[in-house]
């Protein structure tokens, strides 16, 4: 019965994964941020369902007293809490599994549970205890590495020991495990992770050029594998290498990328916190107060999420998960910005007042000059008005003659059905009339109450309406063919113009001839 129950649970889990894949089709056309948020939400739904499945499996295993399944289920549950960064609960479940496995003498699940305990302690900053447990488990999995699951855990332990010994500055031990890791993973994808660890060791040895090249090479594989966490941590190390080499501007670009990925993909890792601090230092060094304020806020936001997510407080002097020094510094920067804004405001008020005084005095002078000029203008206004009236009459007569020429040309244009040419343009009429473009356009607006494009569309629609009435065969044409027949370059433009002038789409209009 238990086997059937587990089989059903696995089928349900498989169904959920399929559901996740099909729902992910909604990602097409979304922005990167929308994709990330969508995937996070779907992932949350899946992990919550997985927890319910695990709890059901544990309940059934207890009822049937199947301790083998029980020990495996507690490992799965511990791994679940690891992904949720709830390390205390992860530790509790791995410990239960190790006790049950020891009782039933199942070495594989026992040492698998020890690896889980080591991971939990590592994240709870119990590094030495974590290293001890990893080394205790390594011997067993090395002997059993012919089995795929055991080999996978064997590589994981090697990688963690390399990383943790490097982090604690025990370079000799770190290099020892890394050499084994490189040899075991040669010609596999895991080799890049071992190579990344070698680059980190070179970084701790201050061989910065070798470290940069090695980590950069491994990082390219992380991107292809969509391992965003290690891609981001690699970016942090690359930025730190440049920083140590005093290449501050180039380093800041890497640190900015780390912060962007951290925020976008919700990556909370102690390694990448340094990027936030480095950006603050950079802006302080170059006097970028506004950017420094933004960087300080980013770090405070990261700290809040990091400490809350871990359910622990790594630093004793934190007031509600905020670094007191950074909080004070942020307030000081805000105060400075407020002072600068007040100074800018008063400076602006002074400029406005002075400008008003200058403008007032200038207007007074202009008014005096205007009065003088008006007296002179009055003396010549009578003669000038007569001349202006004559010129206005002359222009009016010229316009009448010009309008007559334009009208005759437009009527000829309509009679010759030149509007059916798909390439016809306002420039063609301008050339034909030998006139200014704006003058021709204004005449069409005045005489036809339409702009040029609307005028052409109306002529074409009127033309096709007449032909549809008189030529039944034309009603059998496709909409695309009708559009091409009267000079439209696209079906949509023709259909929209037809609707605007008749109130019908072409297909609906043609149907009325069937009745």
Within 10 A of 479 (CB to CB), how many other CB atoms are there? 17
Average pLDDT over residues 350-354: 82
Within 10 A of 332 (CB to CB), how many other CB atoms are there? 13
pLDDT above 90: residue 487: yes
Contact (Cβ atoms closer than 8 angstroms) between residue 102 and residue 64: no
Tens-digit pLDDT profile for residues 142-153: 999 899 999 999
Listing DSSP states for 413-432 in one string gives HHHTTGGG-TT--HHHHHHH
Domains of the chain by start residue, with CATH: 403-513 (1.10.10.60)
Mean pLDDT check: name the lowest of 103-112, 318-327, 451-460: 318-327
pLDDT above 80: residue 305: no
- Give the residue among 74, 129, 138, 64 at the shortest CA–CA distance from 100: 74
Contact (Cβ atoms closer than 8 angstroms) between residue 253 and residue 241: no
Long-range contact set of residues 239-248: C-beta below 8 Å, sequence gap at least 24 = 239/275, 239/278, 240/203, 240/274, 240/278, 241/203, 241/208, 241/211, 241/212, 241/215, 242/212, 243/278, 244/206, 244/208, 245/208, 248/282, 248/285
Model confidence band, residue 408 (pLDDT cutoffs 50, 70, 90)? confident
Q: Which residue has the higher pLDDT, 319 or 259?
A: 259
What local confidence, expressed as pLDDT, does residue 38 receive?
52
Distance of CA 90 to the CA centre of its chain: 32
Mean pLDDT check: name the lowest of 42-46, 191-195, 285-289, 464-468: 42-46
Tens-digit pLDDT profile for residues 43-98: 556 667 778 888 888 999 899 999 999 999 999 999 998 888 888 999 999 999 99
Report how far residue 47's alpha carbon sits from residue 44's, in angstroms, rounded to the nearest whole number: 5
- Give the residue among 26, 52, 29 at the shortest CA–CA distance from 39: 26
Top-confidence range, 29-33, 352-356, 440-444: 440-444
In Å, how far are 197, 283, 421 from 245, measured between CA atoms? Answer: 20, 18, 68
Within 10 A of 490 (CB to CB), how many other CB atoms are there? 11
Average pLDDT over residues 166-173: 91
pLDDT above 90: residue 170: yes
What local confidence, expressed as pLDDT, does residue 316 receive?
41
Report how far residue 197's alpha carbon sits from residue 375's, in angstroms, rounded to the nearest whole number: 93
Listing DSSP states for 316-355 in one string gives TTEETTEEHHHHHHHHHHHHHHHHHHHHHHHHHHHHHHHH
Contact (Cβ atoms closer than 8 angstroms) between residue 274 and residue 297: no
What local confidence, expressed as pLDDT, does residue 113 receive?
95
Report how far residue 164's alpha carbon sits from residue 135's, in angstroms, rounded to the nearest whole number: 12
Q: What is the pTM for the complete model shown?
A: 0.53
What local confidence, expressed as pLDDT, does residue 304 receive?
74
| Residues forming beta bridges with residue 322, ordered by sequence position | 319
Contact (Cβ atoms closer than 8 angstroms) between residue 233 and residue 222: no
pLDDT above 50: residue 321: no
Distance of CA 361 to the CA centre of its chain: 56
Q: Which residue has the higher pLDDT, 403 or 132?
A: 132
What local confidence, expressed as pLDDT, does residue 6 receive?
43
Q: Is the alpha carbon torsion for 379, 381, 386, 388 positive or negative?
A: positive
Quick one: three-class SS letters along 459-471? HHHHHHHHHHHHC
Percent above pLDDT 90 for the chain: 44
Average pLDDT over residues 470-494: 91
Contact (Cβ atoms closer than 8 angstroms) between residue 6 and residue 69: yes
What local confidence, expressed as pLDDT, does residue 85 receive?
80
- DSSP class of residue 490 equals -
Joined together, the tokens standing for residue 294 give 């933004």
Tens-digit pLDDT profile for residues 245-291: 999 999 999 999 999 999 898 888 878 899 999 999 999 999 988 88
């Amino acid at each position: 019965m238990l086997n059937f129950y587990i089989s059903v649970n696995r089928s349900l889990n498989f169904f959920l994964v399929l559901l996740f894949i099909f729902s992910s089709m909604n990602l097409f056309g979304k922005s990167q941020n929308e994709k990330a948020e969508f995937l996070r939400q779907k992932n949350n739904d899946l992990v919550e369902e997985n927890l319910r499945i695990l709890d059901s499996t544990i309940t059934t295993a207890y009822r049937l007293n199947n301790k083998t399944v029980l020990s495996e289920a507690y490992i799965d549950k511990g791994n679940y809490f690891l992904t949720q960064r709830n390390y205390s609960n992860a530790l509790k479940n791995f410990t239960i599994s190790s006790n049950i496995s020891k009782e039933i003498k199942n070495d594989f699940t026992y040492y698998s549970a020890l690896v889980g305990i080591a991971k939990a302690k590592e994240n709870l900053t119990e590094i030495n205890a974590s290293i001890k447990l990893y080394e205790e488990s390594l011997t067993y999995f090395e002997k059993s590495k012919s089995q795929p699951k055991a080999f996978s855990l064997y590589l994981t332990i090697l990688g963690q020991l390399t990383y943790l010994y490097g982090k604690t500055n025990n370079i000799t031990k770190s290099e020892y495990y890394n050499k084994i890791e490189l040899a075991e993973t040669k010609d596999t994808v895991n080799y890049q992770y071992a190579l990344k660890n070698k680059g980190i060791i070179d970084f701790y040895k201050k061989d910065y050029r070798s470290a940069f090249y090695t980590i950069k090479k491994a990082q390219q594989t992380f991107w292809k594998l969509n391992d965003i966490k290690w891609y981001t941590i690699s970016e942090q190390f690359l930025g730190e290498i440049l920083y140590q080499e005093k290449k501050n501007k180039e380093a800041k670009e890497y640190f900015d990328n780390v912060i962007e990925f951290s925020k976008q993909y919700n990556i909370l890792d102690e390694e990448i916190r340094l990027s936030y601090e480095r950006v603050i230092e950079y802006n302080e060094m170059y006097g970028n107060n506004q950017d420094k304020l933004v960087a300080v806020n980013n770090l405070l936001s990261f700290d809040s999420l990091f400490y809350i997510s871990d359910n622990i407080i790594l630093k004793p002097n934190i007031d509600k998960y905020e670094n007191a020094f950074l909080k004070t510094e942020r307030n000081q920067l805000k105060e400075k910005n407020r002072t600068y804004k007040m100074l800018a405001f008063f400076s602006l008020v002074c400029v406005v007042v002075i400008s008003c005084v200058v403008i007032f005095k200038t207007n007074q002078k202009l008014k005096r000059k205007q009065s003088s000029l008006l007296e002179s203008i009055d003396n010549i206004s009578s003669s000038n008005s007569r001349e202006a009236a004559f010129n206005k009459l002359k222009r009016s007569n010229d316009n009448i003659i010009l309008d007559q020429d334009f009208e005759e040309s437009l009527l000829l244009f309509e009679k010759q059905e030149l509007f059916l040419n798909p390439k016809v343009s306002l420039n063609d009429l301008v050339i034909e009339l030998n006139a200014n473009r704006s003058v021709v356009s204004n005449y069409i607006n005045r005489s036809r109450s339409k702009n040029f494009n609307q005028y052409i569309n109306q002529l074409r629609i009127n033309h096709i309406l007449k032909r549809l009435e008189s030529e039944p065969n034309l009603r059998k044409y496709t909409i695309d063919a009708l559009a091409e027949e009267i000079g439209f370059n696209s079906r949509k433009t023709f259909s929209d113009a037809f609707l605007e002038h008749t109130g019908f789409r072409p297909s609906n209009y043609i149907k009325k001839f069937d009745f």
